[in-house]
Structure 1
């Protein structure tokens, strides 16, 4: 089975003063603004790293849900935050790390099960597989 999803970006101008927009085929993002200031100076708009973080957090959460189900468990809640690190490296910039921070309520799960299943989700999520970055995880099983 092969699934294809699309997104698009438009850019006009030079790097520092130019402005762009990002859209998704579903329309969830429609001409969302992005630019140098949003990416490097905390300005308004989105940026590629933020979008990758959202994708990674969402993908990991869904992967964990599937893996929990395979283990006979069901989460009351899975809350994942992704911190994406963009570093200046030789030849430009690179995403060098993603740190996932998970808080989950999973009735009946032991700490050992939780640790094993979250590691499996981190390694198996499709977004984790596509990133050439160090991916770490802090996982908290909540009562």
Structure 2
């Protein structure tokens, strides 16, 4: 396996400062971040929570595809949205929960098989595992 890397260059204090995230694998350039856009209107900037949502939705989709393949089922499509909630917790801030919304078209799959695979994918995908201690909920629907 390979290692992945992202780098952030930050200037200034928390309230008025800003930074740029660079993903080593991306040709898209830099992604601007700031605390103001993290906790209020994103105004075209990303946030750590949005990047976690991207990682979680893609990781879950791959894990679900693999589990379904192990049951000899090939998904036509898996669409996963991850909503990462961020807010005050104690004296600081925290990710307060993640909700996955999954819609999939899987020829030959019955709902019970799909739900079992979706639940297992939620539990074992590497990003879910990295977020142990965070409440992760899910709504999975077989189309």
Q: Report TM bin, short chain.
A: over 0.9
Q: Report SS of the residue matched to 1:101.
A: strand
Contact preservation (8 Å) 1:22, 1:29:
no
1:60-75, aligned counterparts within 5 Å? 60-75=60-75
**In the TM superposition, what is the alpha-carbon distance from 1:32 to its structure 2 partner?**
0.9
**In the alignment, which residue of structure 1 is the partner of 2:141?**
140
Task: Show structure 1 runs of 4+ deviating over 6 A.
Answer: none
Find the aligned partners of 2:113 and 2:15 in 1 and give their Cα distance. 48
| Number of matched pairs | 141
1:1-143, aligned counterparts within 5 Å? 2-44=1-43, 45-131=45-131, 132-142=133-143
TM-score of the two chains, using structure 2 as the length reference: 0.94
Unaligned runs of 5+ in 2: none
Contact preservation (8 Å) 1:59, 1:127:
yes
Deviates more, 1:34-43 or 1:127-136: 34-43
Q: Report SS of the residue matched to 2:68.
A: helix
C-alpha RMSD of the superposition: 1.1
Find the aligned partners of 2:126 and 2:27 in 1 and give their Cα distance. 21
Find the aligned partners of 1:9 and 1:105 in 2 and give their Cα distance. 38
Find the aligned partners of 1:95 and 1:37 in 2 and give their Cα distance. 16
Unaligned runs of 5+ in 1: none
TM-score of the two chains, using structure 1 as the length reference: 0.94
**In the TM superposition, what is the alpha-carbon distance from 1:40 to its structure 2 partner?**
1.1
